[in-house]
Structures are given as C-alpha cells and as structure tokens.
Amino acid sequence: MSQPAQPQSSQINVELPADLEAIYSNFAIINHSPSEIVIDFARLLPNVPKAKVHARILLTPLNAKLLLRALQDNLAKYEDRFGEVRVPSETGFETPERGIGFKH
C-alpha cells in the first residue's frame, strides 16, 4: 500500500549574502528570443553619453510575465500607501534635459 503524498511546503528560504551590493539602475535594455527574456540594468548620468551595465538578468518568458505581475502588484500597494507615481511624459513635465529614466 502506498503512502499518501505529503503536501510540499510553499515557504522558501532565501539567503541574502551580507556582502551583496545593492545596484541602482535608471536604465534598462530588454531583449528577447523565443526562449528567454534578457534585461540589462544600467545607470545613466546627466551629461554622460555612456551607460555601464551593472547587472544582466535572464528569465524564461513565463517567469518574466510572473515578474511583471509581481511588480504591478507591488507598485499598486506602494501607490495605495504613498500616492500615485506620476510618469513625466504623462504629466507634460518631460524636457530634453530630463531624458534620464526608464522608457518603453
């Protein structure tokens, strides 16, 4: 007689190394192939025509979609708590000097 299947724990232990460096990014380059999504995170500075990539993340299309949903959910919670995040191009605030930031 077989044993009933034990439910798997949905809790995951995530290890965050003490020496992990936080990377600031205000620019991302997103590319894809049929099997993966590649996101390169970089930093742009005013009057510097060059951006250095500091992190490259590879995801499956499924995991990219799940990340998108998680970001949307977390941003909605952030806005509920702190107010709407307004995008410069939607407010008429964008000027050539303020061209730094994520674009789509």
Reading phi first (left if > 0) and then psi (alpha if -120 to 50, else beta), residue 101 is in left
Contact, 91 vs 98, CB < 8 A? Answer: no
pTM: 0.71
| Strand 37-43 with 52-59, pairing | antiparallel
Is residue 94 predicted with pLDDT exceeding 60?
Answer: no
Is residue 96 predicted with pLDDT exceeding 70?
Answer: no
55-76 pLDDT, tens per residue?
999 999 999 999 999 999 999 9
17-34 pLDDT, tens per residue?
999 999 999 999 999 999
